[in-house]
Amino acid sequence: MKPELDETVQADRTPALDETQPAPTAPLGSATATRATGVTKSLAAGLPAGKQLGHFRIERPLGAGGMGEVYLATDLALDRAVAVKVLPDELTDHPKRRERMIREARAQARVTHPHVAHMYFIGEDGGRLYLAMEYLAGKTLAERLDEGPLPVDEALALIRAAALGLREAQRSGFTHRDVKPSNLMVDGHGVLKLLDFGLAAGRDDAGVEAGATGPVAQTSFAGTPLYMAPEQARGEPIDFRADIYALGATLYHLVSGKPPFQADSVEELFSLHATAARPAVPRRGIPRTQSGAVDALVGKMMAARPEDRFASYDELLRAIELASASHTRPAGFWVRSIAVFVDLIAVLIVSVLVETVFVKALDTDGLEISMSEILPVLGLYSALAIGRWGRTFGKAVFELEVVDVDTGHKPPWPRAIRRALVLYGPPGALAWLADAFDALDENLLHAIAGGLSGVLVFAAFALLLYASARVSGKRTWWDRSAGTMVRYRTTRTSTL
């Protein structure tokens, strides 16, 4: 794999509709990026220590690339460390390079969010264009990857933080266009920061108001081939879903230790992204009941067609949280079984009390409660309680809740009813048939129907045990059919 496949490339786009090939010009960034901007190429000759640009005093170089020399500097006005990016001398009179640097400063300054590196200032001193940004004493994810793949929950937490920053960029009217490990940094406080808005495309570029969410035309071919969405590589208009694709490719890289596709040429790499089947996320160190969710998450983020990806960052954040054990802890066999037993006891007690009242009122002899009565009542109770509160009494006792996997909230009534019907309907119907056959003195049919009802009850527990051990999210077939899951209660939200 050629090194430039991991580097940002940019070429001015000509009017030709079929032009899709890059023409790299002094690419920025490698897998070991600097602390401030993702640039690691050494400075052949740069600004000396003590040199002042405006009210910033240069302390030492951090790195350099074709689009900028980066220095650690002191903000003399506020007495703080900053990273100063300076346009190289040979590009000082290059209008497009100046425009890109100004666009980077303005885009990054407009996006105010804890997960986006802050832009402080842009200025010119002696004909030298420079910008000052937040100095981050930490490591980029590319540097972290030099040490090997990341634990899956840590990777999901970092990708979630990046998605929050990108969501704010979208709200500000920008698509980043260059999401990759070297543009994501974890600072000294463990906070992920989104870097380098030099390729950001905004609706303002086309004269449309900021904050609009429609696609933007690409005025230049730009991005990083290893992580670039197919439509971005083709030069088509793009929106936030191109960033979601790159974020998905980054997530794959973080958990597997390598990019999803590798090739010897940019053209071959673009072809793989557009047409090849994405390799499955390796199970290395990922629990069996979590690996399927992570693989499905990456698969949807990296769908070849934009319309098959997540329709919003909120939807993406919910999916990340559902796949992450630190946000969503699915309930397993024992706690769910005991919760059902508690519900059964509660329903039995209520049924006995109700039937006792009727027995006395009707002055009849005996008290009898059959499975044909209990199972429908249990199903009705489950549908009503989950549809209203998202949990039954038994689940509330053990701090469990039933949630809609699409929203992360309690299921709507149709899903709550479907879940109860699938779980309690078949054994309840067979128990009712057994009683009907018993009344008709059809002993054989009574025994068959009653036996099948018992088998279905036992099978439900067996399927719960299987799902708890092997199925993604520990979701049973009745949960999958209703689009729900059972998890420990959480108050976490995606509102940051």
Closest CA to 124 of 76, 75, 60, 54: 54
306's CB contacts (< 8 A; 6+ apart) are 229, 231, 238, 239, 241, 242, 245
- Distance between CA atoms of residues 258 and 295, nearest Å: 15
Beta bridge partners of 68: 65
Please report how many Cα atoms fall inside a 13 Å half-sphere around the Cα of residue 192, on the Cβ side: 22
With the C-alpha atoms ordered 68, 69, 75, 81, is the resulting torsion angle positive or negative?
positive
271's CB contacts (< 8 A; 6+ apart) are none
In 3D space, the residue among 129, 128, 49, 130 whose CA is nearest the CA of residue 84 turns out to be 130
390: left (phi over 0), alpha (psi -120 to 50) or beta: left
3-class DSSP state for residue 207?
Answer: coil
Active site residue 435: no
Q: How many residues does the chain have?
A: 496
Residue 175 bridge partners (DSSP): 201
Distance CA 379, CA 410 (A): 17
- CB atoms < 10 A from the CB of 133, how many? 25
Instruction: Give just the sign of the alpha carbon dihedral 63, 142, 263, 298.
Output: negative
Question: 């940051």: which residue's tokens?
Answer: 496
Residue type, 133: M
| Residue 355, Cβ density class (10 Å: 0-12 exposed, 13-18 middle, ≥19 buried) | middle
Main-chain dihedrals φ then ψ at residue 479, nearest 5 degrees: -70, -40
Helix (H) or strand (E) holding 322: helix 313-323
Residues 6+ apart with CB under 8 A from 157: 324, 326
451 CB-near residues (< 8 Å, 6+ apart): none
Identify the active-site residue in 178, 239, 295, 343: 178
Catalytic residues: 178
